[in-house]
Homo-oligomer: A and B are copies of this chain.
Amino acid sequence: MNKFAKASKTLHHAPRTSGVERQASLINAAASLFATNGFTGTTTKQIAKAAGVSEALLFKHFPTKRALYTAILTEKAHYSGLREAVEEAAAKREDKRFFTLLASYRIRKGADPTLFRLLLFSALEGHEMSDIFFRQQYRVFHDLLAGYIRQRIDEGAYRSVDPLLAARAFFGIIVHHRLLHDIFGLPMHRTHEATVEEYVSLFLGGLVRQSSQP
């Protein structure tokens, strides 16, 4: 990581980068291009150019274009530490906070659509890593959500719905929002926060007015 100090010795010729750094920069460049143009829509020439190296070097690091794609999906499959915060809200039975956390993790200012696009492309194009990528990015929260709903039904707090379908419904609202705005390019019509609040309120409270006058 202290390569820069050494690099100053040789000014005229480019300083050499370590293998892991180069690999990372190739993965980043490729991920962005694959997310934009898909697997078949991206050429190894484009990737090499974006990473600032020759195509030959790309193939020194990854034996095939497909292997590079696989490496990206494997690397990007890791998720951030949202789970802990969500589980805390779940333990305290803070329903609104629980759902708001889940929703605003995906609906927020400056959320990067790269992962979402990669996920969709990999599923549509039928890449072999698609399943694993899907499971890691998606299934984790899906199961967490379904488990919480089941628990709250058992406690009598929620209506007796199908927990799996309810979880999918909530995810549907969120995922669809991203589909509309990140993929189809629809403009936002409310702020992220107001949108999340409305979605959560709708999901928890439903649409039909509960008769307060009998």
Q: Using a CB–CB distance below 8 Å, which chain A residues touch chain B?
A: 36-41, 95, 117, 120-121, 123-126, 130, 134, 149, 156-159, 161-162, 164-166, 168-169, 171-177, 179-180, 183-184, 189-190, 195, 198-199, 201-210
A181 to chain B: closest CB distance in Å? 10
Write the nearest CB–CB distance from A53 to chain B, whole angstroms. Answer: 24
Asked whether A201 lies within 8 Å of B161 as measured between CB atoms, the reply is yes
* Complex alpha-carbon distance, A164 and B204, angstroms: 18
Q: Are B204 and A158 in contact (CB under 8 A)?
A: no
A87 and B188 CA atoms in complex are apart in Å by: 27
| Contact in complex: A159, B40 (CB < 8 Å) | no
Query: CB distance A124 to B173 under 8 Å?
Result: no
A210 — which chain B residues lie within 8 A by C-beta? 210
B176 and A207 contacting across the interface, CB-CB below 8 Å: no
